[in-house]
Amino acid sequence: MLDLTLLGSGGGMPMPNRHLSSMIIGYEGRKILIDCGEGTQVAMRKVRSGFRAIDIICISHYHGDHIFGLPGLLSTIGNSDRKKPITIIGPVGLKKIMEGLLVSHAYLPYKINLIEAAKRDIGFRMSSGILQENIEDEKNEIIFSTLKLNHSSPCLGYSLYLPRNPKFYPEKAIDSGIPKQMWSKLQNGEEVHHEGKIYKPDMVLGEDRKGIKLSFVTDTRPTDTIPAFIEGSDLFVCEGTYGDNADIKKAIKNKHMTFKEAADLANEGKVKELLLTHFSPAMDNPSIFGSNARSIFKNTILGYDGYKRILNYD
């Protein structure tokens, strides 16, 4: 199960009724933060999401509306007596950016691990709250993937996938005479050797089952690579900077998207639901333009600060 809260649904500049881009995801008591615009701490206080359990921070790009909340948040986490390392992922240039942002923080009581992911599209697994590459056969851990986007600065999209074990059939284990104490290992995909016999997972497991997939894409123009990246997402969180189709020239110039373009991507990617966010300050009421997306992709949600969602296995 993944639970997520949209902390800020705005882009460009903070508004009285809208914080800047940020989303927090909960998984087994740990937290993952995607983007950290100005006001993120205030938004977290409003929804009582907590911040001490944040293990991973994913930054889409280095425009201020996505990162200016980061120095203050890291300081507050430090004041909470946090000792465990935090991993920050971002496009190329992350080290230089972090050096600048943290110039006023000479000391933090925890280590920050930096991962520049824009030089190549990468995949990680989260094991015990720590991101690691090349972990083989980890079960029930989140798999992270990144995608280069098309914005006015290096920018990443993120995909989080929580695998699901095949269904376990106890009756198969009983029929095969497998001792009960071996069941859990087989259920986790491990081969078991016991009293000269070899028991394999396929003796007690069914077919592979779909896991939970969450994709996050902002800020960017539509690209040919996005549909495959988001394919099959249970929830596709996408920028909708411009609601009006007439604003397409602005979207192209500023390398953003309209509601219609986001909906087209949702259709192509065969996602279950689309959550629009990152609304322009000039768009005071995004719901006015909701039909521009829903006429193309019916299952469209217009995001707002504090929007909560739980993603469960089907």
234 in active site? no
In our burial notation (b when 16+ CB lie closer than 10 A, e otherwise), range 234-265 reads bbbbbbbbbbbeebeeebeebbbbbbbbbbbb
Among candidate residues 65, 219, 234, 305, the one labeled active-site is 65
d(CA 89, CA 97): 12
Sheet holding 123-127, edge to edge: 130-132, 123-127, 143-148, 156-164, 209-217, 235-239, 274-277, 300-302
Phi-psi region of 128 (alpha: psi -120 to 50; beta: other; left: phi over 0): left
d(CA 243, CA 248): 9
The size of the chain, in residues, is 314
Give the count of beta carbons closer than 10 Å to the beta carbon of residue 76.
14
C-beta of residue 233 within 8 angstroms of C-beta of residue 270? no
Q: What three-state secondary structure class fits 24?
A: strand
Alpha helices in 220-287 (DSSP H): 226-230, 248-254, 259-268
Helix (H) or strand (E) holding 22: strand 22-27
C-beta of residue 233 within 8 angstroms of C-beta of residue 309? no
Instruction: Tell me the catalytic residues.
Output: 65
